[in-house]
Structure 1
Amino acid sequence: MGNILSVGQSGLLAAQLGVTTTGHNIANAATPGYSRQIVVQTSAGGQSSGNGFVGQGTNVTAIQRVYDSYTANRVNASQTGKAGFDAYASQISQINNLLADSTTGLSPVLGDFFNNVQNLSANPGSSVQRQTLLSSADSLVARFQSLDGELSRISEGVNQQVIGTVSTINGYAKQIATLNDAIEKATSAAEGAPPNDLLDQRDLIVSELSKQVKVSVDNQPGSGYNVSFGSGQPLVIGTATYALQVVTSTTDQTKLEVGYQSGGVVLRLPDSAISGGTLGGLLDFRSTTLDPARNELGRVAVGLATAFNDQSKLGVDKNGQPGKDFFKIPGPQVSPSNTNTGNDVISATISNASSLTTSDYSIGFDGTNYNITRLADKKVVSTGAFPTAAIDGITFSKTAGSPPVALIAGDSFLVQPTLNGASGIKVALTNNSEIAAAAPIVTGAPAANGGNGTISAGTVDKSYLATPLASSVTLTYDSVTKLFTTSSSAPGFVSSTIAYTSGSNIVLGGATFQIAGAPATGDKFTIGPNTTGTGDGRNAVALGALQTARTLDNGTTSFSGAFGQLVNTIGNKTREVTANAAAEGTLLANAKAIQQSQSGVNLDEEASNLLRYQQAYQAAGKIMQTASTLFDVLLSLGR
């Protein structure tokens, strides 16, 4: 009778655990991170008798959670990828909407500005048209400043999100370490039985952590999960945590970076060392899209202003005075590292706007050499003595601090040539009469000339600024010798002869012109300085031509084209990141579906299990009832 009771009791207990476990599954069907649990039963074996081995019932060896680490890792990896793309897409869409907008972008106000330049060339004496041009220049400058301000605010937003993400990562790391400790204690107290719900909680925290940054997990028996990120830096080892810390860049006070606490020292991590998740997406966006976009916008502003200033100075204003700078152009920003020991001052100027890139530069001193690196492509563009020649359109200079303290190995500087280009550009002119719409030279031919020779209006280039015409020069022709003889009332003028070929260039004092046709002996032609700009719009025509002139990228791209390329690049990158986020979302959904098919709670299946365990419980109870009846029969026979 005892054996029958024991068998029935074991079945009763197994069925009771099955009902309890099934009920636990049903109750947690909607619990995030919960893995369904199953009762693992084994036979209690048999006892030898004269008729063979008689069964001893069943044993419950474990209550096991259905969990597949490979599938869980796939889910975490997809979450890491999707979170990174989502963070990138969220940020870049702001820039895309900002730059491409037909009303708030740069293109409309840039087109309006050059339309007014062209209108001035047609009516150079109009004060109304001149004032309209100045007003449109103010609007253009304001748009540059506004766009850069929005990009700056996006950068500040990235800083705040980096702070929040790092705090979240540190919080998750502490929770994992706490759960490691709790799991090990619970396992030890239960003589090795796994605390399934604690394990689920820990895996859920790891899953949430994978949304913040790419991590790798190593399950070490006896110490729990060891979690690392980046290039292997640990976040959690057993019950110990290693916190991330937000630090300010040593050379750019507006930029926050991620540091890693190790041995009481904060090690700065390069953005490239952190990948995946929200943090990786934010840092990737900032380094590959936001910073280059600000630099490109600044480069367009500097390129436009430089070209316009250069042409403006080749003209004369309404009062006949030489043209001035139309725009004020901010120079490069040079920031010494706050860890520098020496106090030498390094500065930079833009010597050739056409050669500017969108990159920042680092200057590092190794104790002997100055190494200048173009950060966009990590190329060392200069090494050795401090450079005297221009690099990518930038000229560097170095002066001693006060009191002078020489640089030592490890001192560095960050050079940002165009960072402030858009935010710092301003209109330099305050009076519309100062707009240099006229050309600086005038040419003429007396009506009394006997031949049919004609003289062109003439052009000037930058060399004219060094050798301008001081007064009018007369060219007198001799048809026998086919020579022009020059004369002028200017003090110190030296007469010369010029061989004549119809239509060929003649250069005087930095001015270039042509005489064509068949002049007669004694015919005279004059070229001299323009003393009044009224009614002359020739330089305004040249200013208007800058809209399509290729003045950037070493003469291969116009500033309109450069801005168009920026808008196109941002648009393409936005579509790429959005598509990648959608693709990663599909992979994540598939991975979660597989995980749920394995570990998720199916209420229909649990209802079936509940009925099965209920029937098993009733059957086991019937066995014990039968054993009791048989025992009562035996007792009655003994009486």
Structure 2
Amino acid sequence: MAIGILNAGLSGLNAAQMGLATTGHNISNVSTPGFNRQQVVQTTQIAVATGAGFVGQGTQVSTVRRLYSDFLDHQVLASQADSSRLSTYYSQIQQIDNMLGDSSSGLAPVLQGFFSALQTAANNPADSTSRQVVLNAGDSLAAGFNSLDQSLARMGDAINSQLKASIASINSYVQQIAQLNQKIVVAQSGANRQPANDLLDQRDALIADLNKEVKVTVLAQDDGASSIFVGNGQGLVLGSTSFALNTVNSPTDSGRIQIGYSSPGGAIPLPESGFQGGNLGGLLAFRSETLDSTRNMLGRVALTLADTFNQQHQLGQDINGALGGKFFNIGGPQIAASLKNTGSAVIAGALSNSAALTTSDYKLGFDGTVYTLTRLSDGNQQTFATLPQTVDGVALALTSGAAAAGDEFLIRPTVAGAGSISVAITDAAKLALAAPIRTTSGAANIGSGQISAGVVNGPPPANTNLRQSVTLTFTSAGTFDVSGTGTGIPAASMAYVPGKDISYNGWTVQISGTPVTGDVFSIVQNTVGVADNRNVLLLAGLQTANSVGGTMSYQSAYGNLVGNIGNKTHELDITSTAQAALVAQTTAARESFSGVNLDEEAAQLMRYQQAYQASAKVMAMANKLFDSILQLG
């Protein structure tokens, strides 16, 4: 009997000792990231049957349990992946918001300054200083567009670098997880399938870090390993085997990094839409949803301003009497053939109608029979049997070679607009501020008829007969003859309607009042137009014209861009803050279940200490009983 008491005490002593060791382990790891509190699980040993009943044989430790909640851990992973994506997106878009919204260094001040300079020149078009101010303001405007575009391009380069760094971190994590999987499987299979708690904690911590980089799906295996999947189901970890992600250059844009999946046959590009969470997902979402569209929107404003301004400037006359040339230089659409193309086709594009431009990029594909043009912003498709074709303000043409089935081309009409704009004129005398025609009324006219100053019809190039003299002679109060050199000069008399447009040779005038027989009106070349401000007034009027997309002025289009970025930034500020709070809540819920509480552990120390002491007393008592029996002999 004394032996049974001794064994019971010894089992209690061993259990208490393991409890003390486990509690000490918990206390030591109170600050260890990812550590889950451990707990000794005790069960009774099999009792011995006696004539008086079953007599207990003490206790045994069946396992050391890790206090872990799969449900709570998955909640933390899901909320953390979304929080990382939103936080990354917000930190990136803040840079654009600060850049565009700066009232002192943004585009708005130089845009206003350019049109203010035109208004000043309109007051004194012959003044060389005023003309030079217009050129300087044009240079400042072009530099403003260039600077913003360069900043956005640098952000694109920075995104590439951050994507590479993120992929490197992801690959490091998956390698470590695969190695831990192997250790866990070996450890648990060799210890009566007891859980390798500390190794499991290390793996969970790595999975949490991986999940911050990219949203993952974790599947537990029967042998203790965990499989990790990403994107649309690509496996990163399968047992003890890891698979790497990598970065590849876009086949149609060498400056753009894409995410690829390593396979025996080479890297396979993965769709960006598959990465919905983590730092990686935030970077990809920012680039596709905000950065690309911002460059395109800014480029459309620049292209539309330059194109419409050039058109009006070319309809004017400079101080030397020559027709105006282009005021701004602008670049054309960027078109890149895929590196995978097998054909020899070279596709070129040109701006045909700036008002019809969108802010989308396009993909042109050839299936061997027809071309399919896909607008990437909304998926709208058009098919063509041949080129050239004009779509959304861009003229596309096959300049050489032939396309093969499967060939693709990326078309970006506006992306280079802001970066390519510059002032084409260096001589202020070549500013076409005057109109190239003027109208006169005959000195002998006696009727009340009045002729307007006349306007030049657009778009350029101007009619070759624009400045040929044309005379309107009234043969009665209701008819007039047209004489002179030009296009469409009628042989018969024309009916007079007060205020109705009269157009020949690329100009339009109106006559009002009541001319009488013999009254004469002339349209001639403007040879005394040094102080003429008619064209500069039209140029200045472009400031408020709805030129961008046919619905917005230059400034309202830019303001709309700034407003959209500001609204998106504010939205992300709120949602990222709310998501961070959710992460804190779910983490706190997990920690309340799995984390180490020093007060609780201190109580456990005292409990196990007392159990240890009590078990030692039992053993001491058993020893005395045994000694007493021996003394009887």
Q: TM-score, normalised by structure 2?
A: 0.97
CA-CA distance at 1:503 after TM superposition: 2.1
**1:459 counterpart residue number:** 455
Indicate whether 1:420 and 2:421 are aligned.
Answer: no
Residue from 496, 504, 510 that aligns with 1:508: 504
Give distance in 1, aligned partners of 2:299 and 2:521: 46
Indicate whether 1:484 and 2:480 are aligned.
Answer: yes
**1:581 counterpart residue number:** 576
**1:209 counterpart residue number:** 210
Q: In the TM superposition, what are the counterparts of 1:233-632 in structure 2 within 5 Å?
A: 233-380=234-381, 382-401=382-401, 406-462=402-458, 465-466=462-463, 468-479=465-476, 482-488=478-484, 495-553=491-549, 555-632=550-627
Q: Percent of aligned pairs with the same residue?
A: 48
Give distance in 2, aligned partners of 1:534 and 1:588: 71
Give distance in 1, aligned partners of 2:472 and 2:502: 11
Q: Deviations over 1:153-191 (max 9, x none)?
A: 100100000000000000000000000001111112212
Residue ranges of structure 2 left out of the alignment (5+ in a row)? none
CA-CA distance at 1:496 after TM superposition: 4.1
Cα pair 2:188 2:195 within 8 Å, conserved:
yes
Cα pair 1:75 1:588 within 8 Å, conserved:
yes
Give distance in 1, aligned partners of 2:370 and 2:504: 47
Give distance in 2, aligned partners of 1:490 and 1:468: 5
CA-CA distance at 1:408 after TM superposition: 2.4
CA-CA distance at 1:461 after TM superposition: 1.7
CA-CA distance at 1:9 after TM superposition: 0.3
Q: Which amino acid aligns with 1:355?
A: A
What is the RMSD computed on CA atoms of the aligned residues?
A: 1.6
**1:77 counterpart residue number:** 78
Q: In the TM superposition, what are the counterparts of 1:92-171 in structure 2 within 5 Å?
A: 92-171=93-172
Give distance in 2, aligned partners of 1:359 and 1:491: 41
Cα pair 1:130 1:433 within 8 Å, conserved:
yes
Give distance in 2, aligned partners of 1:427 and 1:216: 54
Give distance in 2, aligned partners of 1:531 and 1:496: 30
Give distance in 2, aligned partners of 1:492 and 1:247: 61
Cα pair 2:387 2:398 within 8 Å, conserved:
no
Give distance in 1, aligned partners of 2:487 and 2:296: 50
SS in 2 for 1:418: coil
Cα pair 2:181 2:226 within 8 Å, conserved:
yes
CA gap of 1:624–1:490, structure 2 versus 1, over 3 A, is: closer
Deviates more, 1:410-419 or 1:163-172: 410-419
Q: Which amino acid aligns with 1:396?
A: L
Q: Which amino acid aligns with 1:100?
A: G
Give distance in 2, aligned partners of 1:46 and 1:572: 73
CA gap of 1:146–1:463, structure 2 versus 1, over 3 A, is: closer
SS in 2 for 1:254: strand
SS in 1 for 2:343: coil
SS in 2 for 1:520: coil
Give distance in 2, aligned partners of 1:446 and 1:407: 64
CA-CA distance at 1:326 after TM superposition: 0.6
Cα pair 1:360 1:376 within 8 Å, conserved:
yes
Cα pair 1:470 1:490 within 8 Å, conserved:
no
CA gap of 1:42–1:99, structure 2 versus 1, over 3 A, is: same
Give distance in 2, aligned partners of 1:472 and 1:370: 49
SS in 2 for 1:265: coil
Q: Which amino acid aligns with 2:143?
A: A
CA-CA distance at 1:463 after TM superposition: 6.1
SS in 2 for 1:253: strand
CA-CA distance at 1:506 after TM superposition: 1.8
Q: Deviations over 1:31-73 (max 9, x none)?
A: 0000000000011132222222111111100001100011001
Deviates more, 1:88-97 or 1:518-527: 518-527
Cα pair 1:226 1:234 within 8 Å, conserved:
yes
CA-CA distance at 1:339 after TM superposition: 1.5
Cα pair 1:463 1:510 within 8 Å, conserved:
no
SS in 2 for 1:227: strand
Give distance in 1, aligned partners of 2:395 and 2:487: 38
Cα pair 1:319 1:531 within 8 Å, conserved:
no
Give distance in 2, aligned partners of 1:408 and 1:489: 52
